[in-house]
Amino acid sequence: MRKDLYRAAISDDVKELDKLDRQDVDVFSEFTRAENSVLHIAAYHGSRKCVRRLLPKIRRADLEGNGFLRKQNEQGNTALHEAASGGNAEIVDMLLKKDSELVVVTNKAGETAVFKASIAGHYKIIEKIGDVPVEMYTRKSDGKTSLHCAVYNKQIDVIKTLIKMKPKLVSIADTEGRTPLHFAALIPPLQELVPPFHPWLHDKHVKQNLYIANMLLDKDKDLCDKLDKIKQTPLHIAVKEGNETMVKLILEKGGDCLEEVDNEGRNAVHLAVINAELIFERNSELTTTMLQTLVSASKMSINDADKKGKTPVDIAIESMDKDELLFSGIIKLLQANGAVRNLNGAVLNVNGQANGAVPNVEKPLLKTEPSKSKWKSEIISWNAVLIGTVAFAAPFDLLQTLGGSDLENELRSVSQSERNLFVLLRYAFFLSDTIALGTSVASTILLLFAVFGKKEDSPMVETSFLAVMVALLSILVAFGSAIGLVLGPKYLWLTVMVWFMLCITPLAIRVRTFHSKLYLFTETKNFIKFVVEDTLGLIITLIMHYLDIAKILCWSGIIQPIFKWAKKLCTR
């Protein structure tokens, strides 16, 4: 397409169109690489003057068959599709007055103009051209209606308009058998990106979901029990997504959907256990609270076995290797509500429940072999002992370094501000070293209580980990201060560089901690995820060994000649 024609269509420049007309340029034979005509471009960009000037010039013969007015671009969209997508109501009116049959033309995806207006959120366009059969609201490629898309995208105004004009859309399922309520139970990808420290944004999404679901259920109360192709109800979808508010609403307004099983024989409780890790990643407290909601609604389904003969407890036990603390908490919750293991090879009855589902004596409910918790506790304890040893040993050697006459002479040769900073480093070292020693000892004591009390998943372990983290940060401060004290007041710039490097380490640990969603202060009853990750433990171990080597060198007196050599090198 000519550049001047393209710019005129976008900017609604009628004078440029007239100029091209005087030059005998056939504007109707010009197309872009995507096969868009000048009418497509003008209709999408809302260039009303250009459309009004172009329409009378279209020959009447073009209205028969696939003429210019019904010309489709590479995606199969007509000018009416583009006008509806752009929300240009006046242009929609002009096109339909020229050819009223445009409203039934579909693109390559099987979408009509009214469908394009719906997914773009232009409810006023729907009100203008929405008086068409219900089939015009359906995309032929996948059977999704405009209401499916509007519900998924949380377009409240579009949903209201569609329900008002075509209430039958509420009960129509797509090719996968999913109704709009199935889509209301989904959490859109953009909503997943909402950070957990913005609760007001989550509250907004929750209110939208409830409002939409209530609108749908007001028109069809049986939606809660509708099954898709894999025999899942909206409750199944809500549970898999971790959409707790939708779970509560469906349980409140639904029938026996809690007892419905999918094509693998799994009910909502099965799916809550299977998707526990995903749900935990979205909200650390949600896993057990939602499971408790399901169990409280109907304890009859807690011991149902799927087609493989597995109850929810069986699935949780098999998942212990993935996240021991999370799934052990789930097992305890299920057990407290009467859950049992299914015997191997149990025959399923008509209802899908294992005949003779009783606690299996040979396979206890919880594993008794050595667990990962003990291994993680050992990491914490070794780090605590290491920090305590280093923190206890360092001051003795440093006191000898600070007591020499050379230091007094060096202090007289520097400014008052540098002397004050040097004194401040002394206080910082002894204070941080004392904190490191105290917290490491406290961490070790807490771990001993946890191990001997056989409560390795208790808050003592979490508190011990926090104590080790405080000790780590304190020993880093002490290490940076010690370097400044050993080098002397003339080399405070080097101390600043070391401190900067030491500040990066706790920052990196904090970022890793947040990225892994290690919720340290969650209530114990929610069976929080154990905070000591393998990666974090490795980082702490490496740092501790590095500090251990440095402190041993300092304690043994080997480091002093190295510092003196460095000082001479810097003064040359």
Greatest mean pLDDT range, 64-78, 104-118, 351-365 = 104-118
pLDDT above 70 covers what percent of the chain? 61
The token pair at 248 is 């509560």
The mean pLDDT value for 139-161 works out to 90
pLDDT of 563: 56
pLDDT of 189: 52
The mean pLDDT value for 344-359 works out to 38
The angle that helices 234-241 and 244-253 make with each other, rounded to 10 degrees, is: 160
- When comparing pLDDT for 65 and 126, which is higher? 126
Answer whether residue 343 shows pLDDT above 80. Answer: no
- When comparing pLDDT for 367 and 340, which is higher? 340
The mean pLDDT value for 409-435 works out to 69
pLDDT of 295: 81
Q: Mean pLDDT score of the chain, rounded to an integer?
A: 72
- Using the structure block, give the residue that is written with the tokens 């894999």: 230
pLDDT of 341: 73
Which of 167-176, 468-477, 515-524, 549-558 is predicted with the least confidence, judged by mean pLDDT? Answer: 515-524
Fold designation for 1-106 = 1.25.40
Q: Which helix (H) or strand (E) holds 480?
A: helix 459-487
The angle that helices 416-452 and 492-515 make with each other, rounded to 10 degrees, is: 30
Find all residues with CB under 8 Å of 47, minimum gap 6, and list them.
Answer: 9, 10, 11, 12, 41
pLDDT of 484: 67
* Domain ranges across the chain: 1-106, 372-571
pLDDT of 35: 92
The token pair at 195 is 């950070």
pLDDT of 77: 93
pTM: 0.59
- When comparing pLDDT for 497 and 328, which is higher? 328
Answer whether residue 81 shows pLDDT above 90. Answer: yes
From CA 492, how far away is CA 475, in angstroms rounded?
Answer: 19
From CA 294, how far away is CA 258, in angstroms rounded?
Answer: 8
Instruction: Give alpha helix (H) positions in 69-198.
Output: 79-86, 89-98, 113-119, 123-129, 146-152, 156-165, 180-184, 189-192
From CA 276, how far away is CA 274, in angstroms rounded?
Answer: 6
Residue 240 to residues 156, 234, 244, 309, 449, Cα–Cα distance (Å): 24, 10, 10, 21, 38
Q: Each residue of 442-453: pLDDT tens digit?
A: 777 777 776 666
Residue 540 contacts residue 468 (beta carbons within 8 Å): yes
- When comparing pLDDT for 181 and 368, which is higher? 181
Residue 490 to residues 265, 356, 419, 425, 567, Cα–Cα distance (Å): 75, 81, 10, 13, 9
Confidence of residue 474 (pLDDT cuts 50, 70, 90): confident
Answer whether residue 218 shows pLDDT above 50. Answer: yes
The mean pLDDT value for 414-429 works out to 68
pLDDT of 356: 38
Q: Each residue of 273-332: pLDDT tens digit?
A: 888 877 776 666 666 778 888 888 877 678 888 888 888 888 888 888 787 778 888 888
pLDDT of 160: 93
- When comparing pLDDT for 326 and 156, which is higher? 156
Question: C-alpha angle 562/567/571, rounded to 5°?
Answer: 150
Which has the closest alpha carbon to 303: 238, 244, 253, 349? 349
Backbone phi and psi for residue 186, each to the nearest 5 degrees, phi listed first: -75, 155
- When comparing pLDDT for 477 and 271, which is higher? 271
**DSSP notation for 500-555:** HHHHHHHHHHHHHHHHTT--TTS-GGG-PPPS--HHHHHHHHHHHHHHHHHHHHHH
pLDDT of 100: 84
Answer whether residue 361 shows pLDDT above 70. Answer: no
From CA 400, how far away is CA 560, in angstroms rounded?
Answer: 11
Confidence of residue 538 (pLDDT cuts 50, 70, 90): very low
The mean pLDDT value for 174-194 works out to 75
From CA 134, how far away is CA 122, in angstroms rounded?
Answer: 18
Q: Each residue of 37-60: pLDDT tens digit?
A: 999 999 999 999 999 988 888 765
Q: Each residue of 380-411: pLDDT tens digit?
A: 555 555 555 555 555 545 554 554 545 555 55
The mean pLDDT value for 231-249 works out to 88
Answer whether residue 66 shows pLDDT above 50. Answer: yes
Which of 217-226, 363-372, 494-503 is predicted with the least confidence, judged by mean pLDDT? Answer: 363-372
The mean pLDDT value for 2-19 works out to 88
Find all residues with CB under 8 Å of 123, minimum gap 6, and list them.
Answer: 117, 155, 157, 158, 160, 161
The mean pLDDT value for 470-488 works out to 71
Residue 225 contacts residue 233 (beta carbons within 8 Å): yes
